Amino acid sequence: MAPHFVVRTVDRADPDSIAQLRAAGVATAHEAAGRIGLLGMDIQPRQSGTVIAGSAITVSCHPGDNLMIHAAVEVCSPGDVLVVTTTSPSTDGMFGELLATSLRSRGVLGAVVDAGVRDIAALRRMGFPVWSRAVHAQGTVKASPGSVNVPVVAAGQIVHPGDVVIADDDGVVVLPAARSRAVAEASAKRIAGEAGKRDQLANGVLGMDMYQLRPRLAELGVRYVDRLPVEGET
């Protein structure tokens, strides 16, 4: 049998960088990082208007078995985000209200589940945000070994324990903890630059002119005409 572990120690990013990345949100942080770390679009928010950013506690589970999620709760700290994966594709309801209640008592901010979740109405009422591959009432067992705080793959992205997880209505992005400060600073610059662009657009400036795109259209052979040419005419 392959070895399985529950790793207690996680190297986390500094709290200030995590707070800045939360303020930036998924789209800005993703761009500022060089367009890396974005989980596939199969992982969807199950609430609206919620933004979280925290350190990843990773879980590798047997499909249809949430034993290792229960094991993971013990090693969670305030400000963490649980990232749950399965060793083969699954949409079973791996996570619900009771686990959320347990995680909340540890200060966990939310969960990203590359499988199914259930008790969605209850999760929304208690304000515990989740992002998941599916919503499915199918129950699970607690019988199979797995691991906590090992590298996992969630929706096409490798997630390491302690990575910064940012999640909002646009999806989920995961960034290496070692890059969090640099990406936070780059995000702040993007936000400042977008403020000026937003003012220009609000005042009627066209994106075509603000981004100097007219020469690009000309290079690509795009012509402005008042009407489409009639067949046979030049």
Residue ranges for the known binding site are: 96-99, 118-119
Q: Which of 171, 170, 101 is nearest to 132 (CA)?
A: 171
Measure the CA–CA gap between 101 and 123, rounded to whole angstroms.
9
User: Which parts are annotated binding residues for substrate?
Assistant: 96-99, 118
Q: Which amino acid is at 18?
A: I
Measure the CA–CA gap between 113 and 84, rounded to whole angstroms.
5
Q: Which of 158, 182, 146 is nearest to 70 (CA)?
A: 146
> Roughly what angle, to the nearest 10 degrees, separates helices 180-202 and 15-32?
60
How many Cβ atoms from other residues are within 10 Å of residue 67's Cβ? 17
Measure the CA–CA gap between 201 and 210, rounded to whole angstroms.
8
User: Which parts are annotated binding residues for Mg(2+)?
Assistant: 119
Residues linked to residue 56 through DSSP beta bridges, in sequence order: 81
CB 190 within 8 A of CB 35: no
Measure the CA–CA gap between 21 and 14, rounded to whole angstroms.
11
Cα angle 120-108-124, degrees, rounded to a multiple of 5: 20
CB 60 within 8 A of CB 152: yes
